[in-house]
Amino acid sequence: MAIKVYKRNTAGRRNMSVVKPDAMTDKKPERSLMSKLHRKFGRSNGKISVRHKGGAHKRRYRLIDFKQNKFNIPGKIAAIERDPNRSALIALINYNDGEKRYVMATDGMRQGGTIMTAEQAPVANGNRLILKNIPVGTIISNIEIIAGKGGQIVRSAGSGATLMAVDEHMAQVKLPSGEIRLVHEGCYATIGQVSNFEHNAIRIGKAGKSRWLGRRPAVRGTAMNPVDHPHGGGEGRQPLGMHPKTPWGKPALGKRTRKKYKYSNKFIVKRRRK
């Protein structure tokens, strides 16, 4: 994987860079695994309901198999592709029974390799097996929280969790945030770190590229008038006053939003680091 930094030919190219993954193939996306993607652009009945969203280039959604429930059937990696809807790369798998599916690609996956899902599959990169059969200390990703529901956590580019221990039918998993959480030992997880770990090194370079990604400009509250934002107004650059607020006057930056008696509190062994 390499980061390409553009020559400073124009103002937009001056600070622009892109990631060029080594494992990516030139194959076009599988048409049978794509669907229409309806985007609302942050509008509700024509009015902005979510700020800073809108525009974006036209995309099609790739149907990703987060469950990977084809048990004991080996699959060959036909291609490694970029998905415009997520930060990680995806892999096209051709199973021995003829079915094709997209799965999340892990770091180190290469075209021509083989992966498999089974309760006691070999502990190899890309394979998927239940937590109680994974050695302690292994880096895992795309982890189920509810058995059979499919991977729900640790799915973004470069992320990976560590299996800390398995005891009394529960596994202790250390998440990328530093939180240690209990997950049932019968839940499935994929061996390896999620691909495209250099995703955060990308430099957008120009405002136009943000618009292609569907990101509209974000204006500072202090630059607005008092009628538009609680931080607005004043002569010159004024301090915020009191605590930081949202445009609707609610506390921001540090306000705890988690419910006090949330059902999943009992599964959290250690909170994430601040």
Give the per-residue pLDDT at 156. 96
Give the per-residue pLDDT at 39. 79
Q: Tell me the CA distances in angstroms from 222 to 123, 233, 240, one per residue in order.
A: 53, 7, 7
For residue 27, being part of any structural domain is answered with yes
Q: Report the distance separating Cα 31 and Cα 63, nearest Å.
A: 10
Backbone angles phi, psi at 241, to 5 degrees: 80, 135
Give the per-residue pLDDT at 15. 87
Give the per-residue pLDDT at 199. 92
CATH number at residue 128: 2.40.50.140
Q: What is this structure's pTM?
A: 0.91
Question: How many CB atoms lie under 10 A from the CB of residue 257?
Answer: 6
Q: Give the amino acid at 167.
A: D
Q: Report the distance separating Cα 91 and Cα 141, nearest Å.
A: 15
For residue 15, being part of any structural domain is answered with yes
For residue 183, being part of any structural domain is answered with yes
Nearest Cα to 14, choosing from 209, 171, 237, 235? 209
Question: How many CB atoms lie under 10 A from the CB of residue 274?
Answer: 5
For residue 87, being part of any structural domain is answered with yes
**Which tokens go with 245?**
């607020």
Q: Report the distance separating Cα 68 and Cα 73, nearest Å.
A: 10
For residue 70, being part of any structural domain is answered with yes
Domain encompassing residue 68: 2-200
Give the per-residue pLDDT at 2. 81
Question: Coil, strand, or helix at residue 32?
Answer: helix
For residue 211, being part of any structural domain is answered with no
Q: Report the distance separating Cα 18 and Cα 203, nearest Å.
A: 7
Please tell me the total count of domains within the chain.
1
Give the per-residue pLDDT at 214. 93
Give the per-residue pLDDT at 230. 95
118-147 in b/e form (b: 16+ CB < 10 A) is: beebeeebbbbbbbbebeeeebbbbbbbee
**Which tokens go with 86?**
């997520």
For residue 96, being part of any structural domain is answered with yes
Q: Report the distance separating Cα 36 and Cα 21, nearest Å.
A: 26
Each residue's pLDDT, cut to its tens digit, for the chain (274 residues) gives: 688 889 999 999 988 999 888 888 988 999 999 999 987 789 999 899 999 999 999 999 999 999 999 999 999 999 999 999 999 999 999 999 999 999 999 999 999 999 999 999 999 999 999 999 999 999 999 999 999 999 999 999 999 999 999 999 999 999 999 999 999 999 999 999 999 999 998 999 999 999 999 999 999 999 999 999 999 999 999 999 889 999 999 999 988 888 999 999 999 999 987 6
Q: Tell me the CA distances in angstroms from 214 to 1, 54, 59, 85, one per residue in order.
A: 26, 5, 11, 11
